[in-house]
Amino acid sequence: LEWYPRDDEGYAGARVYRHGALRQREFPPVSASDFIDGEVVAGGRYVYSVSLLDAEGRPAPRSIPVEVSSPADWQANPSIQR
């Protein structure tokens, strides 16, 4: 999952949600604009959204949700730790 970094507008981090539940808390600096979900399974369907955080840690509204699917024959990379 990737998003456009917005550090030029005073954002200091981001939160990633999967199916509405918080998956990853903070990504300071916000220029770190990607997330790899290490718990995806073959044939799974997932809905993600992102919320940027201002300098005080207050979240902006969540992004429009994005639905993704993993191929049925997909295999996890055991080296992914994110």
**Residue 65, pLDDT score:** 94
pLDDT tens track for 3-33: 766 666 677 788 889 999 888 766 555 456 7
Q: What is the pTM of this model?
A: 0.75
**Residue 82, pLDDT score:** 44
- Measured in degrees and rounded to the nearest 5, phi and psi for residue 20 equal 85, -10
Secondary structure of the chain in HEC code, one letter for each residue:
CECCCCHHHCEEEEEEEECCEEEECCCCCCCCCECCCCCCCCCCEEEEEEEEEECCCCECCCCCCEEEECCCCCCCCCCCCC
**Residue 21, pLDDT score:** 87
Residue 64 pLDDT more than 90? yes
